[in-house]
Amino acid sequence: MIDLDFFAEIWETIRRNRSRSILTAFGVFWGLLMLIILVGVGTGLNNGLIKGLQGVPASSLYFGTDHTSLPYKGFQKGRRFNIDNDDVDALRREFSDVAEYISPINFVGSNKFSVGDRAGDYQLVGITPDYFHTMPLALDMGRTLNVNDIRERRKVCVIGRRMYDELFPGEPDIAGQLIKAGSVYYQVVGVIHRLSDNINIGFNADETLMMPITTAQLNYGQGNTVHFMSLSLRDGYSMAGHQDRIIGLLKQRHIVHPDDPTAFWSFNVEEIIGQFSMLFGGVNILIWIVGIGSLLAGLIGISNIMLVTVRERTQEIGIRRALGARPSTITRQILSETLLLTFAAGIGGLLIGVWIISAVGSFMASQPPSAEPSLMGPPQIPFSVAVAAFIILILGGLLAGWLPARRAMRIKAIDALREE
Amino acid sequence: MIDLVNINKTYPSATPLHVLKGINLHIGEGELVSIMGASGSGKSTLLNILGILDNYDTGEYHLNGTLIRNLSETRAAELRNRLIGFVFQSFNLIGFKNAMENVALPLYYQGVSRRRRNELALEYLRMMGLGDWADHYPSEMSGGQKQRVAIARALIARPKIILADEPTGALDSHTTQEVMDILRRVNREQNMTVIIVTHEADIAAQTDRRIHIHDGRIESGAFRG
C-alpha cells in the first residue's frame, strides 16, 4: 500500500504544519551539516600532514651532532664534533641486515650559481643516491644520482624545481646542460620537486643544488665531514629498538658519554607519525561526538514534535481507526512522516555540507601554492563517511519516529471519539 | 444480522462498574431500530460493542454471521471497514480534507484506486444532494450538510449496518428532519440495517422498533414484534 496516496497523505500533514516542520527539520539539517563540515576539515588536516610525510619511510631516523654536555674520558663538556664518512661506513657494516637506506648529507651552504646571464643564490648540498628514497620528492626530468657519480666524484648535479624555473625557464629538457659555480661547471642530470610544501628536513630541496657527497667534500674543502644523515630500516622493522643502538655506536666512536643528552640530535619519523595519529585519533573522536551530538539533538527535536503532532491528531487518528485504518497503517504513516522530515533535512545538510567542502577545496586549490606553508590540506569528505552519515540518519529517523508511532498506534477509536 | 446473547461488560477499577448486565438482542436485516436510554444506562457501551470499538467480557455477539470476540486490532479494523458505517453526533469529519476526500476515506483503507473512490464519493455526495459541495471543506458547511457528508461516508463501503450515535444531536429541528428522512430512505431503498442511538422520543418514534435500555438491561424491544 506504499503508493502515491500514501505519500500524498504524508506530504499533506507536513505541509499543514509547514513552519513547524521546517523549524524542526532545521535541527537535523544543521546537525548533519556540522558533522560533514567537521569531518571534512578534520580529514583535510589529516591529509595535509600525511601528504607532508609522504615519501619518507616510516621507520626513519634523522640525526646529527651538536655539543656534549658531560665530560668524558678527559674531554671537557661543550665539545663540538662532526660525524664523517667513516661513521657512515661503520653504520653500514653494523646495520647492514636491517638498514634499507643510509643517507649522509654534507651541507655546504649558500652558493652563487649561474647559467649564461641568469644567476642566483641557492643552497648546495652533497648527498648519496639513498637521499632520493628517504625524502618526499618527485623526479620531474632526467635521473637522480647513482653510485658511479659518488665513486668517481663526478661533477654532476640534480637541481630543485625553483632553481630550474629561475635558471632554465621553460626549457623542456635540460639534462646535460651546465651550471657554473665559481670557476667550476656542473652538469645537470635531473630536476626534482618537493611533494609537500609543508615539510623540509634540513633544507628546501626546491631551491637546492644536490651533488655527490664525495664531489662536494672534495671541491668545497669539507674533508670527510657529514653534517647530518638519515637511516631507514627495511619494511617490518621498527626504529624503536634501533635508535639507541645507532646513536650509541656513534657516541662510542666519538668518545661521548653514553648518557650525554645533547651530543646528538635525532628525529624519529615513526614517533612523529605516532604522535600525529594520536592527535588525529583524538580530534576525530571529538568531531564525531560533537557531530553526532548535534544530529541527535535534531532527531530528538523531531521525535518531540511528532509526539505533539500525534497528540494533536488523536481525534483524527481515532476517526481513521473507526473507518477501518489498521494500527499498522497509522504506525507506518507516523514513521514515514518522521523519516521524510529527517531524510529531507539530512539530505539537505549532506548536500550543502559537501558543496561547502568542495567549494572551500577548490578555493584552496586555486590559491598560489604556499606563500605561507600550512599544515591544512583541502577539506574532504570520504565517501564512506557520507554513507555512514546517511545510515545514521535513517536509523536515527526510525528511532525518532518509533516513540510517536507507538503512541499513535495505541490510540483506539473509542478513546478518540469520546473526546468531544 | 445482529445477535447478542447474554452480553456482559464490566469496567475494571477500584469499584468495578458492571455496565451491561446480560444483554440479549436480535436485529434482523433491513430493520430500522432506535436504542433509547438515559446517560449512564449503558447505551454508549452497547453501541461501542456493536461497532466493534470495544470488547465485552462474556456472551456472544454475531454480526452478519461472524462471531465478534477477542479480535486483534487489525481484524477489528477490517470488519469495521467492511461491515459498519458510522454516523456520529459531532460528524467527525477530517477538517483538512474536502467533502469528497472525506467520503472516499473508507475506500482508501480498502486499497481502492484514487480515481475509482473519488468517482464513487461524488456519486454518494450527489445522492445526498451535495454534488456541488464536493470541493468544500467541513468548515465551510452547515451542520446538516456535514452530517449528510458523514452519512455518505458511512454508506460508501456498502456496509451491512449503519450505526448512528445521536445523529441529530447537534442539529436544529429542520435539518434533524432532513437527516432522519435520509436515514429512513437509505433503510427503505437499500434495505440497509440502521441503528440509531438517541434520547429524543420523536426521533425514536420515526423508527420501526424502539429498544429501551435501562441500568444495563434491555427493558423492551429486544426482539421484533
Mean pLDDT score, B20-24: 92
Instruction: Pick left, alpha or beta for residue A157 (phi over 0 → left; psi -120 to 50 → alpha; otherwise beta).
Output: beta
DSSP assignment of B77-96: HHHHHHHEEEE-TT----TT
Gap between the Cα atoms of B121 and B138, Å rounded: 15
- A2 compared with B163, residue with greater pLDDT: B163
Closest in B80, B88, B93 to A324, CB measured: B80
User: Which residues lie below 8 Å from residue A369, measured CB to CB, with a gap of 6+?
Assistant: A197
B164-216, pLDDT tens digit by residue? 999 998 889 999 999 999 999 999 999 999 999 998 899 999 999 999 999 99
Gap between the Cα atoms of A236 and A239, Å rounded: 10
User: Three-state SS for A325?
Assistant: coil
A106-137, pLDDT tens digit by residue? 999 999 999 988 999 999 999 999 998 888 88
pLDDT of the residue at A271: 86
Gap between the Cα atoms of A162 and B75, Å rounded: 82
Mean pLDDT score, B34-57: 90
Instruction: Pick left, alpha or beta for residue B191 (phi over 0 → left; psi -120 to 50 → alpha; otherwise beta).
Output: left
A390 to each of A240, A289, B83, how far by Cα in Å? 41, 16, 45
Sequence-separated contacts (24+) of B122-131 with Cβ below 8 Å? B124/B152, B124/B153, B124/B155, B124/B156, B125/B99, B125/B100, B125/B149, B125/B152, B127/B152, B127/B155, B128/B152, B128/B182, B130/B99
pLDDT of the residue at A198: 62
Gap between the Cα atoms of A326 and B73, Å rounded: 7
Closest in A5, A16, A417 to B108, CB measured: A5
Q: B53 to chain A, minimum CA–CA distance in Å?
A: 6
Closest in B54, B81, B94 to A316, CB measured: B94
User: Three-state SS for A152?
Assistant: coil
Q: B25 to chain A, minimum CA–CA distance in Å?
A: 22
pLDDT of the residue at A375: 61
**Alpha carbon of residue B28 to chain centroid:** 15
Q: Which of A395, A341, A375, A360 is nearest to A36 (CA)?
A: A360
- Cβ-Cβ pairs closer than 8 A, A with B, add up to 61
Q: Is B12 on the interface with A (CB under 8 A)?
A: no
B92, B105, B112, B146, best to mutate vs chain A, most A CBs in 10 Å: B92
Gap between the Cα atoms of A162 and B154, Å rounded: 87
Q: Do A12 and B96 touch (CB under 8 A)?
A: yes
What single DSSP character describes residue A168? S
Is pTM beyond 0.80? Reply is: no
Q: Do B80 and A327 touch (CB under 8 A)?
A: no
Q: What is the mean pLDDT of chain B?
A: 91
In A, minimum Cα distance to B89 occurs at A420
Residue with cell 646495520: A95
Do residues B175 and B142 lie in contact, with contact meaning Cβ atoms separated by under 8 Å? yes
Q: Is B111 on the interface with A (CB under 8 A)?
A: yes
pLDDT of the residue at A352: 92
**ipTM given for this complex:** 0.91
Q: Do B54 and A414 touch (CB under 8 A)?
A: yes
pLDDT of the residue at B156: 94
Residues of A in contact with B197 (CB under 8 A): none
In B, minimum Cα distance to A415 occurs at B53
Extract the C-alpha cell encoding A222. 669539507
User: Three-state SS for A369?
Assistant: coil
Closest in A12, A322, A329 to B86, CB measured: A322
B96-153, pLDDT tens digit by residue? 899 999 999 999 999 898 899 999 999 999 999 999 999 999 999 999 999 999 999 9
A336-373, pLDDT tens digit by residue? 888 888 888 888 998 998 899 888 888 877 776 554 45
- B33 compared with A276, residue with greater pLDDT: B33
Interface of B with A in 51-80 (CB under 8 A): 51, 53-54, 73-74, 77-78, 80
Do residues B81 and B136 lie in contact, with contact meaning Cβ atoms separated by under 8 Å? no
Q: B192 to chain A, minimum CA–CA distance in Å?
A: 18
pLDDT of the residue at A369: 57
pLDDT of the residue at A313: 86
Q: What is the mean pLDDT of chain A?
A: 86
For chain A, which residues lie within 8 Å of any Cβ of chain B, measuring from their own Cβ?
1, 4-5, 12, 16, 315-316, 319-329, 412-414, 417, 420
Closest in B48, B110, B114 to A414, CB measured: B48
User: Three-state SS for A137?
Assistant: strand
Gap between the Cα atoms of B190 and B168, Å rounded: 21
**Alpha carbon of residue A330 to chain centroid:** 49
Closest in A316, A322, A420 to B80, CB measured: A322
Q: Which amino acid is at A246?
A: I
User: Which residues lie below 8 Å from residue B115, measured CB to CB, with a gap of 6+?
Assistant: none
pLDDT of the residue at A368: 64
pLDDT of the residue at B61: 95
Mean pLDDT score, A22-47: 86
Do residues B162 and B194 lie in contact, with contact meaning Cβ atoms separated by under 8 Å? yes
Closest in B51, B54, B73 to A327, CB measured: B73
Q: Which of B40, B50, B81, B14 is nearest to B214 (CA)?
A: B40
Gap between the Cα atoms of A84 and B155, Å rounded: 105
pLDDT of the residue at B105: 93
Residues of A in contact with B93 (CB under 8 A): 319
B19, B79, B108, best to mutate vs chain A, most A CBs in 10 Å: B108
Residues of A in contact with B86 (CB under 8 A): 322-323
Gap between the Cα atoms of A105 and A64, Å rounded: 10
Residues of A in contact with B94 (CB under 8 A): 316, 319-320
Closest in A1, A316, A420 to B90, CB measured: A420
Q: Is B189 on the interface with A (CB under 8 A)?
A: no
Mean pLDDT score, A38-50: 80
Do residues A84 and A226 lie in contact, with contact meaning Cβ atoms separated by under 8 Å? yes
Mean pLDDT score, A269-295: 86
Do residues A260 and A68 lie in contact, with contact meaning Cβ atoms separated by under 8 Å? yes
pLDDT of the residue at A235: 86
**Dihedral of alpha carbons B86, B87, B92, B96, sign:** positive
In A, minimum Cα distance to B55 occurs at A414
A240-279, pLDDT tens digit by residue? 888 999 999 999 999 999 999 999 999 888 888 888 888 8
Q: A376 to chain B, minimum CA–CA distance in Å?
A: 54
Q: Which of A269, A370, A332, A338 is nearest to A63 (CA)?
A: A269
Instruction: Pick left, alpha or beta for residue A113 (phi over 0 → left; psi -120 to 50 → alpha; otherwise beta).
Output: beta
